[in-house]
């Protein structure tokens, strides 16, 4: 992925994010945190979690079957989203990769 697209990351407030400083040092990507108990600050993340729950209901152990995980990834990346003007995440990502912001530097 072009480095111009890797500038920051917003994480949830969980113990699994405790190594954020090491991540920033290793990648030079700034890490920000949403406020606790404020899911509206992470709308796309919350929506994606809901979509993932269709494949992995709460309490379900996530499989290590790579073929199935690839299928889920492909289905979600090719599912139109209202927030993207009914384009798919794959379409938007492709456009980002071919845009002047990604190809200059």
Residue 81: is its pLDDT beyond 60? yes
Binning pLDDT at 50, 70 and 90, where does residue 104 land? low
Tell which wins on pLDDT, 78 or 63: 78
Kindly list the domain boundaries of the chain, sorted by start residue: 3-103
Structure tokens given for 51: 């979509």
pLDDT at 74: 97
Q: Which residues contact 103 (CB under 8 A, 6 or more apart)?
A: 2
Residues 77 and 74: their CA atoms lie apart, in Å, by: 5
**Percentage with pLDDT > 70 across the chain:** 95
Helix (H, G, I), strand (E, B) or coil at 79: coil
By the 8 A CB rule, do 77 and 94 touch? no
Domain spanning 3-103, CATH class: alpha beta
Note the pTM of the prediction, 2 decimals: 0.67
Residue 103: is its pLDDT beyond 70? no
């Amino acid at each position: 992925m072009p480095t111009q697209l890797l500038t920051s990351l917003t994480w949830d407030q969980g113990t699994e994010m405790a190594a954020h400083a090491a991540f920033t040092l290793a990648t030079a990507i700034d890490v920000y945190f949403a406020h606790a108990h404020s899911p509206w600050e992470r709308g796309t993340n919350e929506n994606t979690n809901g979509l993932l729950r269709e494949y992995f209901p709460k309490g379900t152990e996530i499989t290590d079957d790579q073929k199935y995980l690839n299928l889920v990834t492909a289905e979600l990346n090719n599912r139109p989203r209202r927030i993207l003007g009914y384009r798919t995440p794959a379409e938007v990502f492709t456009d980002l990769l071919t845009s002047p912001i990604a190809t200059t530097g």
